[in-house]
Amino acid sequence: MATTNELEDGLKMIEELTANAEQIQEQLLAQILDRNAGTEYLSRFLSGKTDKELFKMKVPVVSYEYIKPYIDRIANGDKSNILLAESVIEFHRSSGTSGGKPKLIPVTAETHNLRALYFTMLASVMKRQFGNVDQQGKRLEFLFAKQEIETPSGLKARSVSTSFYMDQGFRNILSKHYTSPIEAIFCSDPNQSMYCQLLAGLLQRDEVVLVASNFATVVLRAIKFLEDYWKELCSDIRSGQLSGWITDSGCRNAVSPILEPNPRLADSIQNICGCKSWDGIIKKLWPKAKFIGSVTTGVMSQYVDTLKFYSGGLPLVSAFYGGSEAFYGINLEILTEPSHVSYTFLPNMAYFEFLPVNKDKDTLPMSQEDVEPVDFINVKLDQYYELLVTTSAGLYRYKVGDVLRVTGFHNTTPQFQFVERQNVILSIDSDKTSEADLLKAVTEAKTPLDPLGVILVGHTSYADTSSIPGHYVLFWELKAKEGNDRLEVDPRIMEECCYRMEESLNYIYRSYRKQNAIAALELRVVKQGSFVALMDYYVSRGAPVSQYKTPSCLNSKEDVEFLNSEVMGKFFSPKPPM
């Protein structure tokens, strides 16, 4: 156990914040309004006044599209107090992969201060469990910076993770305690970057104390990459020569000095990677690793089984909840199973409000009264809410687009389970299948594959309305645990999966399906590696690797065509659900 001041300070801060949630939230809102009531945006609603009641009554609940014209003016160089009085120092560019286009979110010096506070608290929670990992060895974190763009005003727009990797404090820690060289993290070619990060991680394999990435997709991308490149990586380690296709000079300069001929190391990696089954490969390759750190909640929950297969029993730690707009919460019980993870909100990060959401599809919608946003401390246990934030950087009653469920309280502060993205929905008729409904149905649908030793590596979907009646299409990538590339599953089992999927969808879907207003659900099995290829496809169009989230539902014709070109087999539900 670490007993440093830093650890105690971080934990103390969490206790103080969570014990005084109401007061801190009130102070924060008052401060934001004091500073910004005179801005063009807020004065439209508040005429310069700063009281909370007026704020709640007059300032509208908005989504990005509403404030986009204001943000565009800032990005185009308008220096007047449009959304906020403080100077904007950069923009965060959201990933745009969890439904929607990338957004620009204003960032101020205060945003960076809050980020530093957030990471101090997060680090203290990790230290409480694992001790000071930096004294125990090195972190193998797969990190990918995304090239920034410059707005006409000269302000840079970069992903929230890239902004973090640019921070000098982080760079100092990185060079001492991480296996990945900064040059590889900033390499513009994701493949060269991944190769060098894996190589550096393998060269220092006996020192690695954790394996991590922001989101689970990236750890799995690294494992897939290793499957494709382990022989070449071993050959580089054996000869001490870096492969010729690594042409990025930063990568070459950073990796070459640590690459010396090491046949013994190459042999041991070769023995591990040459096994037929990759069960537990992470623990075998990095025997001192204590845990795998990456978000495994929300849409990432679909990767839990695959990660567990590779992990060799290492705990999966999903500690962080935040985004381009702000940081929201920390998982205080970091060893909790992914399906039970809750994030304790931090009341100093933003002013939070919660819009009640009716998740019970079989009951009537809520009355207008019920859909008024509620304050932080007035949320009710087990109720679902959409998250709204008011930040010190110019967002007011802004819909983040995430749906959360209250699972408990830490001191006076609510804890939330991440449920789903609000806007991801499959629909043919009046049926509405949310991201969480879909994930639940997929989990049930894949059960016939479990006894066969087959894992579902990735899935996505779309509503095909090209024929009448329309139907749901699921894309599935499957993998045999024994690492057999040519996987053939009995078509009757795949049809059983389709049927189970339909059985698990909600009442409205099932009744439309029975009336043949929705045609039989279709499952398209895609080739191995298709979901990594889909990620690459998004990355080639601008999505940052570090923040990539597999879309639960495809919204563009191009994306559907992309996966259609990978399809190996199509299966349909043989009969309507009961």
Q: How far is the CB of 335 from ligand AMP (least distance, A)?
A: 16
Rule CB under 6 A: say whether 298 interacts with ligand AMP.
Answer: yes
Contact, 371 vs 355, CB < 8 A? Answer: yes
Rule CB under 6 A: say whether 528 interacts with ligand AMP.
Answer: no
Instruction: Please tell me the distance from the alpha carbon of residue 170 to that of residue 176, in angstroms, as a whole number.
Output: 10
Using CB under 6 A, which of the segments 140-148, 201-209, 295-303, 507-515 binds ligand AMP?
Answer: 295-303
Going by the DSSP 8-state scheme, the letter that residue 206 receives in this structure is T
Residue 475 token pair: 């894309």
Rule CB under 6 A: say whether 402 interacts with ligand AMP.
Answer: yes
As a three-state string, the secondary structure of 431-464 is CCEEHHHHHHHHHHHCHHHHHHCEEEEEEEEEEE
Q: Which helix (H) or strand (E) holds 316?
A: strand 316-317
**Which residue in the set 25, 36, 94, 163 belongs to the binding site for ligand AMP (CB under 6 A)?**
94
Rule CB under 6 A: say whether 10 interacts with ligand AMP.
Answer: no
Torsion of CA 133, 134, 138, 144, to 10 degrees: 100
**Which residue in the set 138, 205, 421, 459 belongs to the binding site for ligand AMP (CB under 6 A)?**
421
# binding residues, ligand AMP (CB under 6 A): 18
Instruction: Please tell me the distance from the alpha carbon of residue 312 to that of residue 211, in angstroms, as a whole number.
Output: 12
Three-state DSSP class for 545?
helix
Rule CB under 6 A: say whether 50 interacts with ligand AMP.
Answer: no
Which amino acid, 324? S
Half-sphere exposure of residue 190: CA atoms within 13 angstroms, side-chain side: 25
**Which residue in the set 37, 107, 125, 160 belongs to the binding site for ligand AMP (CB under 6 A)?**
160
Rule CB under 6 A: say whether 100 interacts with ligand AMP.
Answer: no
Using CB under 6 A, which of the segments 80-88, 238-246, 318-326, 509-517 binds ligand AMP?
Answer: 318-326
Q: How far is the CB of 14 from ligand AMP (least distance, A)?
A: 17
**Which residue in the set 36, 179, 213, 297 belongs to the binding site for ligand AMP (CB under 6 A)?**
297
Rule CB under 6 A: say whether 90 interacts with ligand AMP.
Answer: no
Rule CB under 6 A: say whether 389 interacts with ligand AMP.
Answer: no
Rule CB under 6 A: say whether 321 interacts with ligand AMP.
Answer: yes
Q: What residues contact residue 456 under an 8 Å CB cut-off, 6+ apart?
A: 302, 305, 306, 442, 446, 449, 476, 477, 478
Q: How far is the CB of 229 from ligand AMP (least distance, A)?
A: 28
Give, as ranges, the residues between 530 and 569 that touch ligand AMP (CB under 6 A): 547
Rule CB under 6 A: say whether 64 interacts with ligand AMP.
Answer: no
Q: What residues contact residue 275 under an 8 Å CB cut-off, 6+ apart?
A: none
Rule CB under 6 A: say whether 163 interacts with ligand AMP.
Answer: no
Rule CB under 6 A: say whether 99 interacts with ligand AMP.
Answer: no
Contact, 330 vs 323, CB < 8 A? Answer: no
CB neighbourhood size of 313 (10 A):
8
Q: How far is the CB of 93 from ligand AMP (least distance, A)?
A: 8
Rule CB under 6 A: say whether 292 interacts with ligand AMP.
Answer: no
Judged by the rule CB under 6 A, the positions of this chain that interact with ligand AMP are 94-95, 98, 160, 295, 297-298, 318, 320-324, 400, 402, 418, 421, 547
